[in-house]
Amino acid sequence: MEGLSIAGVVLFLVIITLAMGVKIVPQGSKWVVQRLGKYNCTLGPGLNLIVPYMDQVAYKVTTKDIVLDIPSQEVITRDNAVIIANAVAYINIVAPEKAVYGVENYIIAIQNLVQTSLRSIIGEMGLDDALSSREQIKAKLKGGISDDISDWGITLKTVEIQDITPSGTMQRAMEEQAAAERERRATVTRADGEKSAAILEAEGRLEASRRDAEAQVVLAKASQVAIERVSEAIKDNEMPVMYILGEKYVDALQEVATSDNAKTIVLPADVPAAIRGMMGGFSGK
């Protein structure tokens, strides 16, 4: 019975030892093995054998792409504007032993590295450039941290700028600035319109005055010619002229009499004498 018990214990230890020496690594993972506290090897996916009691799996590292969310942070641009930026990074661990032994916590290290690089890149840009140059920021960010994390056995697949927006205070200032600019443009447009209208109105008055002056000159010349011809025609015979002028005089009196503003009509005592006076005035001219 004692020998049977010893055999059972030995068999149990053998089974435990074999179980400790056989490791099955799942697909998408790599295991880092230490021997007596020192790095020994990295186990790939599948069946692997290690030395029991001496070797132990210290780290289990995924070989799948890891998505790192870079927390939002306030960044000051070159023109002292405050914007809020965050990003997302896609990494892949190609050398697990470097990732676990090269840095204390590669996740936190990469997040801080991306944040620091993002602040540095945006700090060299103006506000307008920072808001409109995501691809440029992305390229600089990827180039700036790829070499650093490669020493940790990690490759940066890509990095994307998720959001880059002005702070709340900056947004209000930009809205006020945009409103002031729109008001300024509207004022300039109204002023230009009023100026153009005033110029056109002045040009219209100038043209009308010029045309009136030309018309008066033409009428004056026509009157002068008509008077000269009438004077030559009548010579000493004043009766036809007296008749014509009298007829015109009567027509004028009728118009005055029918006018709404006419209150009193004054007639000369001697109409022929008045007509002769008018003829005399024309002759004097």
Please report the pLDDT score of residue 257 as a whole number.
66
In the prediction, which pLDDT does 237 show? Answer: 58
Averaged pLDDT for residues 164-177: 69
Which CATH number is correct for 66-166, 3.20.20.70, 3.20.20.20, 3.30.479.30, 3.40.50.11690? 3.30.479.30
Which of 4-8, 51-55, 217-221, 231-235 comes out lowest in average pLDDT? 231-235
**Cβ contacts of residue 222 below 8 Å, gap of 6+?**
none
pTM of the complete model: 0.57
Q: Which of 21-30, 54-63, 240-249 has the lowest mean pLDDT?
A: 240-249
Decide if pLDDT at 33 tops 90.
yes
- Listed in sequence order, the residues at least 6 apart from 128 whose beta carbon sits closer than 8 Å to its beta carbon are none
What's the token pair of residue 270? Answer: 């001697």
pLDDT of residue 283: 47
**Average of per-residue pLDDT values in the chain:** 80
Please report which confidence band the pLDDT of residue 147 belongs to, taking 50, 70 and 90 as the band edges: confident
What are the structural domain ranges in the chain? 2-62, 66-166, 180-233, 236-285
Q: Give 263's pLDDT tier (boundaries 50, 70, 90).
A: low
Residue 98 reports pLDDT greater than 70: yes
Q: Are 90 and 66 in contact (CB under 8 A)?
A: yes
C-alpha to C-alpha distance for 49 and 25, rounded to whole angstroms: 11
